[in-house]
Amino acid sequence: MTDPFVSIYEIVFQLTIRMVDSAEIVNDTEKLRKTLKLFETIEQSTTPMSIVFPWMPTFALIKRTIAGGRLYYLFKGIMDNRKKMNHRETDALQYHIDMGDDIKLIIQVWYSLTQGSFSTFIVGAVFSGQLNTGINASFMLTYIGSSRHWYNRVRAEIDAVLNKYAPDRSLPLRQRFEAIPIEAWESEFHLLDCCLKDSIRLQLLGTMYRRNIGTEDVKIGNELIPSGAFLVCVYVIFLSPSETNADHRPTISQMFNQDPNIYLEPLKWDPSRYFPGRAEDKKRPLCWIGWEAGRHPCLGTGVSFQFSFTPHRVFVLLYTSKSNLPQSSSTVLKLRFKFAKLEQLLIVSIFLTRFDYDTCDDKGIICDAIAPPDLNAHSATKPIAPIRLRLKSRDLKAQD
């Protein structure tokens, strides 16, 4: 058995670090886990008290400051060693070094993290790329594994795409996945995309803040937002239809993702709610905002990169403990790359192709349903009750 909220979560972290951070961290298992622990300490130290009174010397602030300082010196040590040894890597950190950026401008951990501001690229990208992506990828596998119906349908879709672009089953699995073009990942995994959408819908929790930084007041609906004031909107407060207003229109707190007047059984994971003919997410504008909406959508759905992309790195992380792959196996791509989305689709696709598995608890008892999320959580969170994936290697040559 494996705990996906540990094993898959670590894979997402490793992929994110490889994309936006340092090769020294991603290629060193001990250093990678140490870095993940520091990021988790900082993330978990965000409390309502630290938001309302960020200057108050609480225990959470002390932990956050210590973890931030350790991150700072970790990255500083890597940069100093590269300069001392005249060593170069092809990663995001090297780009900043080549541009002459100062360590404080690149990371700015000691000050920024204690002030609750993630303003720099590396630290901000890791936080935004890890928390939601790691939790959603893990939950997506548990949801699929809890339903034989969706498990078989999703696997059939993955096998169909794999056989379309790489029908030779004698090839190593990593080579077969490498043969799938980027366009296919974006357009031919319709069911997998629906699975991801409903996983995101259920795990998108917390509160949005938007400050009016203009000099004039802004009117939104019947509300006037003064200059300098904050607009606060809760992602989800679940109300039953009987608790809505008389004409059954949703209240402001029901606008996002859990409105029972839009989503049938809103706390149930059901990919079919996005199928043509049903399309619950299209009943009205902005009733599904998993990748955000408006002028500033999530960068994980459309960030332009030029980088060395190795699809089978994901396979190797799932299949072995090795991650140092030869550069000759890489393919340089220049594209509008939906990294967060593709990262999750790759992990789930390779896992479903490589393993036969069931979702169960920590005692091995099969789960045919996953408990609803904690709607009071501040953000996407790991489940309270233990969830495991009971797996075995799949006979790849015996596919139907």
Rounded CA separation 41/56 (Å) = 18
Rounded CA separation 387/360 (Å) = 6
Rounded CA separation 375/258 (Å) = 10
195 marked as part of a ligand binding site: no
Rounded CA separation 303/3 (Å) = 30
Query: How many CB atoms sit inside 10 A of residue 373's CB?
Result: 22
Calculate ∠ Cα 250-256-257, nearest 5°.
Answer: 110
* H/E stretch holding 308: strand 303-309
**DSSP labels for 309-345?**
E-THHHHHHHH-S-----GGG-EEEEEEE-HHHHHHH
The closest of 233, 276, 275, 277 to 257, measured between CA atoms, is: 233
In DSSP terms, 218 is beta-bridged to 225
Q: What is the SS3 string spanning 349-382?
A: HHHHHHEEEEEECCCCCECCCCCCCCCCCCCCCC
The answer to whether residues 148 and 367 touch, using CB atoms and an 8 Å cutoff, is: no
By DSSP bridging, strand 303-309 and strand 331-337 are: antiparallel
The closest of 311, 349, 315 to 330, measured between CA atoms, is: 311
Which 8-state DSSP code applies to residue 217?
A: -
Rounded CA separation 79/97 (Å) = 8
Tell me the one-letter amino acid at 71.
L
List phi, psi (to 5°) of 225.
-100, 105
Which 8-state DSSP code applies to residue 15?
A: H
The answer to whether residues 348 and 314 touch, using CB atoms and an 8 Å cutoff, is: no
- Residues belonging to the binding site are 298
Return binding residues for heme.
298
